[in-house]
Amino acid sequence: MKKTLTPDQVESRKERAVRFTRDVLDDPDRADEIEDETLEDYAERHGFQERKLDFTAVHRIPNVGYQTIVCILGGWAEFIGAS
What pLDDT, on a 0 to 100 scale, did the predictor assign at position 8? 87
Q: What's residue 21's pLDDT?
A: 96
How much of the chain exceeds pLDDT 90, in percent?
A: 36
Going from N- to C-terminal start, the domains of the chain cover 3-80
Q: How far is CA 6 from CA 1, 10, 13, 15, 35, in A?
A: 16, 6, 11, 14, 18
For residue 38, the model assigns a pLDDT of 92
Main-chain phi, psi angles of 71, to 5 degrees: -65, -45
Q: Splitting the chain (83 residues) into consecutive groups of 10 residues, what average pLDDT does each group show?
A: 82 94 96 94 86 56 70 72 61
